[in-house]
């Protein structure tokens, strides 16, 4: 029983890591990286409480 | 120094080292500006404001809102990719070991003032508040409320709630940068009020922000039951003494739910377990030591 649970968990983990890699690739391909970089490389007035 | 204290100390040094590593742009603190290099496109695992002068990476919650409120994308594949990857590998180990605001709360809780308590009144219901913060302030409002004619929105969580941004970004920048200091208004006052409230509460209560407000903790918590880094209780070795529950700042009955969504993997339960019944996946325990401890416990 425990062995089956372990196998199922391992499969889910592998699936999630695969999905994460695909999502990262898809996000990069459609230009999200630039949006994140633009926001993160400039002082975010809202984040520091200036608005 | 007891085992638990030793472990605390070791963990806090690790948290501090991680903060130094991911916020290593020291010039930023001195000159009141932020790092603008390409590593800023990569998310760090913890709630680490990208407007912290030293930050070398992006906060995943800030990045998620930046993509959602940009008006260009309905969903962020990129940031969800990071969140799923970090979550699957480590779960809320990130909260306990890799989050700078977690370290701040940990240190404040060590101040020997008043009687320490684990939870705020209404804890059982309040723990669900972080899911509301995640849904409303991080996803729905940035996605749906446009504040400019071009259709871009606001990062609602960062703007109205995030105390990490005020502490790690706002205060250092405003202290050194006179231009920013001149622009302070009601929003900064509100954010300072919220920050001070959370910091004061942290002295008495254990990690109130992580328990009740943090949207990142809410996300990583879902991964705890399946993450590579997970806990296991040896039911044969466990004597159900409750020492783990007493030591747990997050108030988890570890022997019942070792992979609770609330567990931040600080490891205090492992340190106090008299029979070494709690182990971490991938790190085998020394069986002889366990049996020896069981014998000792039975004798006393």
Q: How far is A7 from chain B (nearest CA, A)?
A: 11
For an interface test with B, the pick among A13, A15, A34, A40 (most B C-beta atoms closer than 10 Å) comes out as A40
State the pLDDT at residue B206.
97
Residue (of B137, B110, B299, B118) closest to B218 by Cα position: B137
Residues A21-38: b if buried by 16+ CB within 10 A, e if exposed: eebbeebeeeebbebbbe
Q: Is A29 inside a domain boundary?
A: yes
State how many domains chain A has.
1
**pLDDT digits over B122-164, tens only?**
999 999 999 999 999 999 999 888 777 666 888 999 999 999 9
Q: Is A48 inside a domain boundary?
A: no
Residue (of B300, B233, B228) closest to B270 by Cα position: B233
Residue A4, C-beta contacts closer than 8 angstroms, at least 6 positions apart: none
Longest CA–CA span in chain A (Å) reads: 56
Question: What is the rounded distance in angstroms from the CA atom of residue B19 to the CA atom of residue B215?
Answer: 20
Residue (of B78, B73, B45) closest to B59 by Cα position: B45
Residue A36: give the domain boundaries.
2-40
Write the burial class of residue B191 (CB in 10 Å: 0-12 exposed, 13-18 middle, 19+ buried). buried
> Considering only CB atoms, which chain B residues are within 8 Å of A39?
50, 58, 62-63, 66
User: Does A22 contact chain B (CB < 8 Å)?
Assistant: yes
Which ranges in chain B belong to alpha helices (H)?
3-22, 26-31, 60-68, 77-90, 93-97, 100-109, 123-126, 129-132, 141-144, 156-160, 163-164, 171-176, 178-181, 186-204, 208-212, 215-223, 243-247, 268-272, 287-299
User: Does A47 contact chain B (CB < 8 Å)?
Assistant: yes
Longest CA–CA span in chain B (Å) reads: 75
Contact A49 B192 (CB under 8 A): yes
Residue (of A31, A46, A14, A3) closest to B76 by Cα position: A31
State the pLDDT at residue B290.
47
Contact B51 A44 (CB under 8 A): yes
**pLDDT digits over A2-43, tens only?**
677 888 999 999 999 999 999 999 999 999 999 999 999 999
For an interface test with A, the pick among B88, B91, B150, B171 (most A C-beta atoms closer than 10 Å) comes out as B88
User: Does B61 contact chain A (CB < 8 Å)?
Assistant: no
Q: Is A49 inside a domain boundary?
A: no
Question: B180 near B190, Cβ under 8 Å?
Answer: no
**Extents of the domains making up chain B:** 3-223, 231-299
Q: Is A46 inside a domain boundary?
A: no
Question: What is the rounded distance in angstroms from the CA atom of residue B201 to the CA atom of residue B92?
Answer: 22
State the pLDDT at residue B217.
97
Write the burial class of residue A49 (CB in 10 Å: 0-12 exposed, 13-18 middle, 19+ buried). buried
Q: At what angle do helices B60-68 and B77-90 cross, to 10 degrees?
A: 150
**pLDDT digits over B27-53, tens only?**
999 999 999 999 999 999 999 999 999
Location of structure tokens 């959602």? B68
Q: Which residues of chain B have pLDDT under 50?
A: 286-288, 290-291, 294, 298-300
**pLDDT digits over B174-192, tens only?**
999 999 999 999 999 999 9
Q: At what angle do helices B186-204 and B100-109 cross, to 10 degrees?
A: 50
Residue (of B174, B47, B209) closest to A51 by Cα position: B174
Question: What is the rounded distance in angstroms from the CA atom of residue B50 to the CA atom of residue B62?
Answer: 8
Handedness of CA B221, B223, B227, B233 (dihedral sign): positive
State the pLDDT at residue A1.
57
State the DSSP H helix or E strand holding residue A6, giving kind and residue range, or none if neither.
helix A2-29
Partner residue facing B228 (CB), from A13, A21, A34: A13
């Amino acid at each position: 029983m425990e062995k089956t649970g372990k196998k199922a968990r391992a499969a889910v983990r592998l699936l999630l890591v695969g999905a994460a890699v695909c999502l990262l690739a898809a996000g990069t391909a459609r230009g999200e990286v630039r949006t994140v970089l633009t926001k993160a490389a400039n002082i975010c007035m809202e984040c520091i409480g200036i608005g | 120094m007891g085992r638990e204290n030793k472990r605390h100390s070791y963990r806090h040094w690790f948290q501090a080292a991680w903060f130094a590593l991911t916020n290593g742009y020291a010039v930023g603190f001195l000159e009141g500006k932020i790092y603008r290099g390409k590593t800023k496109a990569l998310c760090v695992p913890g709630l680490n404001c990208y407007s912290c002068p030293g930050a070398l990476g992006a906060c995943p919650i800030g990045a998620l809102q930046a993509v959602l409120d940009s008006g260009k994308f309905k969903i962020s594949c990129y940031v969800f990719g990071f969140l799923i990857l970090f979550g699957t590998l480590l779960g809320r180990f990130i909260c306990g070991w890799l989050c700078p605001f977690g370290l701040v709360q940990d240190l404040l809780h060590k101040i020997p003032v008043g009687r320490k308590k684990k939870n705020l009144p209404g804890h059982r219901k309040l723990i669900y508040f972080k899911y509301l913060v995640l849904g409303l302030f991080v996803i729905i409002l940035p996605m749906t409320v446009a504040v400019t004619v071009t259709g871009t929105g606001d990062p609602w969580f960062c703007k109205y709630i995030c105390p990490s941004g005020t502490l790690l970004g706002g205060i250092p920048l405003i202290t050194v940068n006179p231009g920013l200091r001149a622009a302070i208004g009601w929003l900064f006052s509100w954010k300072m009020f919220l920050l001070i409230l959370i910091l004061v509460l942290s002295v008495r209560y254990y990690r109130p922000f992580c328990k009740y407000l943090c949207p990142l903790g809410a996300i990583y918590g879902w991964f705890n039951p399946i993450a590579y880094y997970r806990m296991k209780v040896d039911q044969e070795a466990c004597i159900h003494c409750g020492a783990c529950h007493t030591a747990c700042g997050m108030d988890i009955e570890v022997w019942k739910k070792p992979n609770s969504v609330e567990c931040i993997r600080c490891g205090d339960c492992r340190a106090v377990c008299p029979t070494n019944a709690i182990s971490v996946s991938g790190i085998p325990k020394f069986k002889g030591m366990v049996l020896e401890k069981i014998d000792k416990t039975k004798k006393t």
